[in-house]
Structures are given as structure tokens and as C-alpha cells.
Amino acid sequence: MIKKAEKKKGFLIVYTGDGKGKTTAALGVCVRAVGHDWRVCIIQFVKGTWKYGELEGLKRLGKLIELHVVGEGCVGILNDRKDFEEHRQAAKEGVKLALEKIRSDSYELVILDELNVAVDLGLVTDEEVEELLEARANKLHMVITGRNARDWLIEKADLVTEMKEVKHPFQKGIKARKGIDW
């Protein structure tokens, strides 16, 4: 039997793995939450220089979603010419913003998109992620996405989905497509 207090506890959800769909899954949760009039805050780490379709799409969903893109783009790939320290500083500002939003008690759902990647790249520390989790009010739902989720985060999470790539058009030399990949 589920205790009444457990019914009110917010979930910690992790979408990880090498397959496509981690951000897409998180955005699906976002759309569902907005359908129930929840206030949602999304903070995107690492991403930042491309014009992803979800940015415009989320704007169209209305006033219940607050989106912050705090990254400086893909680190060390795709013509990235920025100094690593610039990426690290952007990530640190993202953690600071996330703490502020998590502590504000203004949202039912906070999505920290690509946070796992920021940790894996050394832009954000495990200790900073722990601080974000500890700042979370008991009722706040949180989604963390990105490849290479730490074992300790997977252990703490209530729900973990690992995306596994089975087949991808890129394997045939087909580039990312507007509306599908970005």
C-alpha cells in the first residue's frame, strides 16, 4: 500500500543512454505537465548555439513554460572554437540559475536537459548535482537528461530510462533533419 505522503513526493526521473530521444522524452513529460496546468522550468545545459525546433515549439505552448538555454554549444565538436573555460562558466551559471529556480517553489516540474553531459565533460561537478537534488522540495518533480548518467544518480532516481541506439540514419550518412533531429 502506498502511503499518502509518498503519493505527493515528486519524482526524480533520469533519461540517459547513447540512443536518441532523451530530450524528446523530457519534453513529452513537459507537454503532459502543461496539460495539467503545471508550471515547468527547463534549463538546457551544453546546447546553446543552434536554433532547435523545440525552442519555438515550447514558446507556443504558453506561459506555463519557462525555458533557459545556458550552454555555449557543443563542447569540442561541430566547429566549437570557444575556450573550455567559457563553457565551464556558462554551466556554472546554469547551476546557479537551476538552484534559484528549484528553491523558488514556483514550479511543479524542473527539467535539467543535458546536465549529465555537462557532468561527464567536467563542466559541472557531482557535488553541484547533489546540491541541486538536495535543494528540491519534496513535491517537486525533476527530470535530468543526457548520456553517461552517474551510477549514484541512477540509484537515487525514481525512474530511469536508458535510450539504446539500434539504428540511426546517420549510420547511412544521412544528416540530421529539421523537425526530426533539431
State which amino acid sits at residue 74.
Answer: C
Rg (CA), the chain: 16
Alpha helices in the chain (DSSP H): 4-8, 22-35, 53-60, 84-103, 115-120, 126-135, 151-156
Please report the DSSP string for 119-149 in residue order: HHTTSS-HHHHHHHHHHS-TT-EEEEE-SS-
Q: What is the reported pLDDT for 74? A: 65
- Give the pLDDT confidence score for residue 33 in this predicted structure: 97
Residue 176 — φ and ψ, nearest 5°?
Answer: -55, 140
Cell 539504428 -> residue: 167
**Residue 85 pLDDT:** 86
- Give the pTM: 0.89
Angle between helices 53-60 and 22-35 (to 10 degrees): 10
- Condensed to tens digits (0 to 9), the pLDDT of residues 22-74 reads 999 999 999 999 999 999 999 999 876 666 777 788 888 889 999 998 876 66
Domain 8-172, second-level architecture: 3-Layer(aba) Sandwich (3.40)
What does the pLDDT look like over 84-107, one tens digit per residue?
788 889 899 999 999 999 999 999
The rounded percent of the chain whose pLDDT value lies above 90 is: 63
